[in-house]
Amino acid sequence: MPALGCCVDASVSPPLGYAFSWDSSLPAPELFSSGVPPATNAAAVTTGSHWSTDLSSALYRVDGWGAPYFSVNSSGDISVRPHGTDTLPHQEIDLLKVVKKASDPKNLGGLGLQMPLVVRFPDVLKNRLETLQSAFDMAVNSQGYEAHYQGVYPVKCNQDRFVVEDIVKFGSPYRFGLEAGSKPELLLAMNCLSKGSADALLVCNGFKDTEYISLALVARKLLLNTVIVLEQEEELDLVIDISRKMAVRPVIGLRAKLRTKHSGHFGSTSGEKGKFGLTTTQILRVVKKLDESGMLDCLQLLHFHIGSQIPTTELLADGVGEATQIYSELVRLGAGMKFIDIGGGLGIDYDGSKSSNSDVSVGYGVEEYASAVVQAVLYVCDRKGVKHPVICSESGRAIVSHHSILIFEAVSASTTHVSTQPSSGGLQSLVEILNEDARADYRNLSAAAVRGEYDTCLLYSDQLKQRCVEQFKDGSLDIEQLAAVDSICDWVSKAIGVADPVRTYHVNLSVFTSIPDFWGFSQLFPIVPIHRLDEKPTMRGILSDLTCDSDGKVDKFIGGESSLPLHEIGSNAGGDGGRYYMGMFLGGAYEEALGGLHNLFGGPSVVRVLQSDSPHSFAVTRSVPGPSCADVLRAMQFEPELMFETLKHRAEEFLEQGEGEGEDKGLALASLTSSLAQSFHNMPYLVSSSSCCFTAEATASANANNGGYYYYSEDNAADCATEEDEIWSY
């Protein structure tokens, strides 16, 4: 890029009104010579003229956080390996092709779903569960452990019906169960486990009242392997009383407050001052009361939790060892102990750094985790002469995080840079209306430009802008003149290579709804363009969502970056019609359950994708549009049908007062009310004209065939069934 020059006679004071110009004889500033804004850490690989998919993979750390499920393919798209390391080359799924299938209009063979979009891969879910089970089986066999491992999935991580049902189905050969923390979760767990293994555990955690305990005992009557875990000492009296009235012999667990805890964000739930659990004194009182009631044999499980995202296996082993000491003491006191439930804590490496000093990474893998647990339990039990218990874990984050990808689109990118030099005449007229101080700044700026003193140029440019802002505030400078000054100063900054290179990419998303943990406590997730990764990203950007709040943005990224390397949007680069898709990965746990209705943006559309032998290696087995405007209004106690009737009546009154023939008024009313009704049925997010199925033609077709609007649901890959909904009278 040429440096800044000045067309003046340097032997005299610069006259008012001279212009800046590009001097192509001077070298380009080093800062921008690479064509990519300066960056740190991983982004440094953007320098140089050559680009490849391998460089993109390194830039976005895909091989770190994505292994073994995600990679960059030769087309420059994110590729999904649904079976992990066992995925064959022909089984890999191009994520962009899935997005196109979901979002393309129906008349082009797509599903007509609107962005944002959650893509679920049940095959990945199955592989995660099998990987966890395999790791514990290997640890048990290699260390001579004399009991087995059987996990439970805490449904709070993601209560979606198909996610829970899949886990029960995939986990049935391994006696995999469920954990519930509330009455609704208990109901769904009872329902799903009715089709699972008879040995699968139904662990009942959380605060409990009479109704909760009664429901858990009903589950036991239905021959579900239910364990009521005491979180508070007072719950024991309810369990004893209700179980006697219902004539059900309960299986009881208790949650211990360990001294072991970790210092990260997720460690605050553990330790002596943790929210849940019993102290050693309370545990002894529970044992005594159960003994006096003739129910000490009912106490069979010890549970603890030292926090999510446990950073090291050393900390894990310390906590497991402490808990096993308590377990052994309960055995000594006569309890009928069988299970030790180590809770959650198996961490996810969100940034691929394998660091033990970060809330977004862990310094171990699944195999190391399982080995540390088995070894810690084995050591204490053998030393105490206690029979090895069945090991249970509640590793929800580790099971569901990878299987779900949030896809969203960048619809525009803002920039304050000016691309052309201001004209000489424009500068002359502008300078004439400046006050003397501002003119002095302008003359100093001009002289510094002649001398090539770029730092001084920037100083006087800033002073010039500030003085003109003050003139604007006191009314002596109009808005057109202020805009001209802004353009001059921005042009100077760009010319000397210090203009802010970070753009704001406006994305079709609500951070509060779809990435609540980022907004709540700065949890980082990998965010990557899912295509065009065979091109060099020439921009850096932050992501700004659709909400009306300044917090609705993503400005922190993995690797300690405050911006993300991105591509230009708005062109047909990559053959995608100018559309620019990004994916947020590893968000399958908690984000959907925690998302709210800020600005009344509802949840995303969802597709469920299985690996298949089809030409594109995948089949969409289910698709569900995101909540409509009517759906989110109902959630806030509005009645969309009555709202529509009110607005329709208002339209009738308005048209009745206007001019025109009766037939024209009737057509106008029909058109207006049809548009209003369609607005209730559409999603709250921005609609792309190239993919939206809610065009006027689509509306007319829907009215004729589907009761008023499209609602698309695919129950299997070959057979598409359209669900009908209520008809709104137009």
The answer to whether 535 and 573 have CB atoms below 8 angstroms apart is yes
Helices 662-681 and 696-705 cross at an angle (nearest 10°) of 90
Q: What angle do CA 697, 703, 708 make, to 5 degrees?
A: 115
- The dihedral built from the CA positions of residue 197, 200, 204 and 210, taken in this order, carries a sign that is positive
Catalytic annotation present for 381: no
Please list, in sequence order, all residues whose beta carbon lies within 8 angstroms of the beta carbon of residue 586, skipping any fewer than 6 positions away: 65, 348, 350, 401, 402, 525, 526
CA dihedral 543, 547, 548, 550 (to 10 degrees): -30
Catalytic residue among 204, 468, 489, 548: 548
Q: How far apart are CA 57 and CA 529, in angstroms?
A: 11
- Phi/psi for 99 (5° steps) reads -65, -40
How many residues appear in the chain? 730
Q: How far apart are CA 629 and CA 175, in angstroms?
A: 42
Q: How far apart are CA 128 and CA 170, in angstroms?
A: 10
Q: How far apart are CA 656 and CA 658, in angstroms?
A: 6
Partners of 713 in beta bridges? 721
The answer to whether 70 and 81 have CB atoms below 8 angstroms apart is yes
Both structure tokens of 623: 């698709």
Check residue 245 and give left, alpha or beta (phi > 0: left; psi -120 to 50: alpha): alpha
The answer to whether 611 and 82 have CB atoms below 8 angstroms apart is yes
Q: How far apart are CA 604 and CA 587, in angstroms?
A: 13
Q: How far apart are CA 293 and CA 240, in angstroms?
A: 8
Q: Which of 679, 730, 684 is nearest to 704 (CA)?
A: 730
Both structure tokens of 436: 């003397």
Both structure tokens of 106: 């129906």
The answer to whether 349 and 363 have CB atoms below 8 angstroms apart is no
Query: β-pairing, 299-303 with 339-341?
Result: parallel
Q: How far apart are CA 125 and CA 122, in angstroms?
A: 5
Q: How far apart are CA 222 and CA 688, in angstroms?
A: 50
Q: What angle do CA 32, 34, 35 make, to 5 degrees?
A: 70
Provide the CB-side half-sphere exposure for 522 (13 A, CA). 11
The answer to whether 611 and 617 have CB atoms below 8 angstroms apart is yes
Q: DSSP string covering 477-510, please?
A: S-HHHHHHHHHHHHHHHHHTT-S--EEEEEES--
- The dihedral built from the CA positions of residue 452, 456, 462 and 466, taken in this order, carries a sign that is negative
Query: β-pairing, 299-303 with 564-566?
Result: unpaired
Residue identified by tokens 């440096």 is 3
Task: Determine the 3-state secondary structure of 404 from DSSP.
Answer: strand
Please list, in sequence order, all residues whose beta carbon lies within 8 angstroms of the beta carbon of residue 334, skipping any fewer than 6 positions away: 287, 291, 296
Partners of 584 in beta bridges? 406, 527
Both structure tokens of 284: 């002894």
Q: How far apart are CA 345 and CA 676, in angstroms?
A: 49
Residue identified by tokens 């069979």 is 300
Please list, in sequence order, all residues whose beta carbon lies within 8 angstroms of the beta carbon of residue 686, skipping any fewer than 6 positions away: 115, 411, 508, 546
Residues noted as catalytic = 548
